Each structure stands twice: as structure tokens, then as C-alpha cells.
Structure 1
């Protein structure tokens, strides 16, 4: 990649995550929706599948999910310098705001207007997180396994949230990863078995052993050949029969055309005696 183009991408990454960091309230999960909109829909830097992988890696690695997301996306798009400036862009707004409000935080902390403002912000954050959840669910593969893992993880997370059980989210993620690995190994073994069976069938065909399909074709072709022979024999038989009938008709015609001889005198007398 040319240096000019690389510098432009690094600057775009910095400005993009600076904007996301400045207008994201509620942590990394609220940030996901904005990252998906800018990186996938607008700039086309990531595919939906890659975006899901980014979220999975950012969540499963130590650290803040917002910073992990910026670091991973920056590294994927522009290497080391991309990850560095994307991370700086994501952190800079928070650092500036904290440094700015720290001296007066005690003055405005109990202000009623500030409390009302944060009440609205928290409600907005919940909506942003739900929106991010919906978009991530659309990116996932629609398989039975994905639905099962999602359902089990949701139940465990809710039980942990309401303190029914004490289970860290990291263990839920690691369990889902382990289940995915096991399911992938099972799927690969199935594909190998199918490939082996297909190879054996192909080898049998190449060495002259008829498979079921070819045998069916031969059986289907055999009566057709016999029918053709029967049709030929029937045609010869029909022709001979027609010729014989024609010859018989000609013979009858000749017999009908032959002159009838008059009876002799002796025959007449014999006929008369017989009558008397």
C-alpha cells in the first residue's frame, strides 16, 4: 500500500474513532452500533462476518471492549500505526472530558438537572445496546447451534445478573468457544467421512465395478434393446404375412377367372339315372 494511502487510512481511523468515542455513552456495547454503521455500512472496511469476529475478540480479551475494538479494527485495516491511532482516537474524548469536569465534579454532582440529564442518557444507552444486539444477531449464522448457544448464554447471563448463580461472563464466553470448537471438529469429521465414501464410490466406478446408478441405467437400457429387436422381428413377420395373403388373393382371383367346362353326355345320363 502506498504511504500516502496508508496515512489517509490512519487519519480516517483516528477521526472515526474520535467521533465514536465522543458520542458514545454507556461503554463498549453502546459503541458497537456506531462501529458497525461506520466501518461496515459506510466505509466498507469490514464485512458483517468480520464485525462479529471483532466483537467476539474484543469481548474475550482483557481490557475495555471499546478500546479492544478500536485496537483490533485499526490493526486489521492499517497495521500497527492504524491500531495505535484508532486506540488514541477512542480514548481521547473520555480523557478530555474527565480532565475538564474533574475540578467541578463535586459542584455539579448533586445538581438536579445533571441527574435528569444522566437519567435520559442511561435510557438512551439501553436502546443503543439493544440496537447493537439486534444487529449482531442479524450477522450471525442462522443455524440450530447458534440459536442454542445464544439461548444458553442468555439464560446464564441473566441468572448471573440477578445473582441466582455466581458466574463470570468470561467463563460463559470460554464455554461458548469450547462448544464451537467441539462442534467444528464433529462437522469436519462428518465431511471427511462423506468425502471418503464419495472417493470409494468413484474408485469403484473407475475400476469397473458398477454402482447402483449405472446398474439401473443398464437395466433400463436392456429392455429397450430387446424391444427394438422384437420390433424388427415383428416387422419382418408382418411383411411375410402380407406377401402370403397377397399371393393367396391372387391365386383365388385366378381360380375365379378360369373357364367352367360343360358336363359330358355320360355325366348327364348318370345324373338323370340318379334323379330317377
Structure 2
């Protein structure tokens, strides 16, 4: 079993502290930054692994950024890495909230602050859209996965309970795998 050193824990903390500090909008807005840091810069995960991680953390209760940081931190340095990553990603928000608490009410009526936050929301929407496009390019490889994605999208628009849609996707994925295995077995038996 690999021994975790303080240098690695510090790197995990700083990585997730930067993500937490420089992401406005939280949650899904953090996904592109996490992907960039973890896949592109640090090489802690492949593109396929990060998509699997995003899928898993979105299907369990909790905050997406916290769940993702736990998953990646744990992958790097087990329990200490998971705890360190969570502290890193949460601490900036906690400190910022403490710092602006006194200004909150005065900013709520400030037209410049209102307009600035409108711009931030538009930028965050663009970040989420770019991440969605990357996910589509990586995960939709054939007609069946495209159909599952389209049906899931439509169901999410009309129904409130996302967990049933996720479970339906899991079920369809398993059925698809079983059907393809049956086809392979039949081909092998014929030859």
C-alpha cells in the first residue's frame, strides 16, 4: 500500500482550493475546471475516467463539487486525499461568505452588482454548455447511446425525479450489455 506524503496532500489541497476559489456558480460550473485540472494539467485521470466520475457523483446525494473532490482525492491518496480535497474545494467559499456577509444586504440593491452577477451567470452557463458538449462527444458513440441520451433529456424536462431517469439509464445500459453478450455467444456457437 502506497504511503501518502504531505507534498501530495498539499498538491491535492491547492488544486481543489484553486478550483473552489476561481469558480463562480459552484456545482456544475466547477466541472470544466475540475476536468481541466485533473485531466489536462495533473493527468490524475483520463477523459473517460473523469466522465465516469462525473456520472457517478451526479447520481448520488450531495453537492457535485464536493462529491467529485472526494472521489478524485480518494483516488489519489485514499481517505486523507478525499478529506484534503473536500477541505480545499469548500474552504474558499466558506471564507468568501464570511468576508462578504456584511456587504450582502447593501449589494442586493446595487444596480452594478446586479448587472455583474447577470454577466457571471451568462459566463457560467457557457462553461456548463462546453462541458456538456465534451461529455456528448465522449459518451455518445453510437445510435443506441444517442437514443438513450435523447430520451433521458426529454424525460428530465418533464419529470421532477432525476434519480428514476438515472436508474432507467443504468438499466438500459446493463440490458444493452447483456444483449450484445448474447449476440456474441450466438455467433460463437454458430461458428
Bin for the TM-score computed over the shorter chain: over 0.9
**What are the superposed Cα offsets for residues 46-99 of structure 1, whole Å, 9 maximum, x if unpaired?**
011101110011100100111101011111121111111011111111111111
The residue that corresponds to 2:29 in the other structure is: 30
- How many residues align? The count is 191
Root-mean-square deviation over aligned CA pairs: 1.6
Equivalences for residues 215-254 of structure 1 within 5 A: none
Q: Aligned in 2, Cα 1:171/1:112: closer, same or farther, shift over 3 Å?
A: same
The residue that corresponds to 1:178 in the other structure is: 171
1:33–1:135 CA contact under 8 A, matched in 2: no
- Choose 133-142 or 39-48, whichever is displaced more: 133-142
The residue that corresponds to 1:91 in the other structure is: 90
CA distance in 2, matches of 1:192, 1:84: 45
The residue that corresponds to 1:47 in the other structure is: 46
CA distance in 1, matches of 2:152, 2:27: 19
The residue matched to 2:132 in structure 1 has which SS? helix
Residue 142 of structure 1: CA displacement?
Answer: 1.0
CA distance in 1, matches of 2:21, 2:80: 21
The residue that corresponds to 1:81 in the other structure is: 80
CA distance in 1, matches of 2:130, 2:32: 7
**What are the superposed Cα offsets for residues 213-270 of structure 1, whole Å, 9 maximum, x if unpaired?**
xxxxxxxxxxxxxxxxxxxxxxxxxxxxxxxxxxxxxxxxxxxxxxxxxxxxxxxxxx
The residue that corresponds to 2:190 in the other structure is: 197
The residue that corresponds to 1:133 in the other structure is: 132
The residue that corresponds to 1:270 in the other structure is: none
- Structure number with greater Rg is 1
Q: Which has the higher contact order (CA 8 A, sep 6+)?
A: 2
Residue 37 of structure 1: CA displacement?
Answer: 0.9
Residue 8 of structure 1: CA displacement?
Answer: 2.5
> How does the TM-score come out when normalised to structure 1?
0.65
Residue 157 of structure 1: CA displacement?
Answer: 2.2
CA distance in 2, matches of 1:44, 1:138: 20
CA distance in 1, matches of 2:22, 2:156: 27
1:19 aligns with 2:18: yes
CA distance in 2, matches of 1:64, 1:42: 24
Structure 2: gaps spanning 5 or more residues: none
Q: Aligned in 2, Cα 1:120/1:75: closer, same or farther, shift over 3 Å?
A: same
The residue matched to 1:62 in structure 2 has which SS? coil
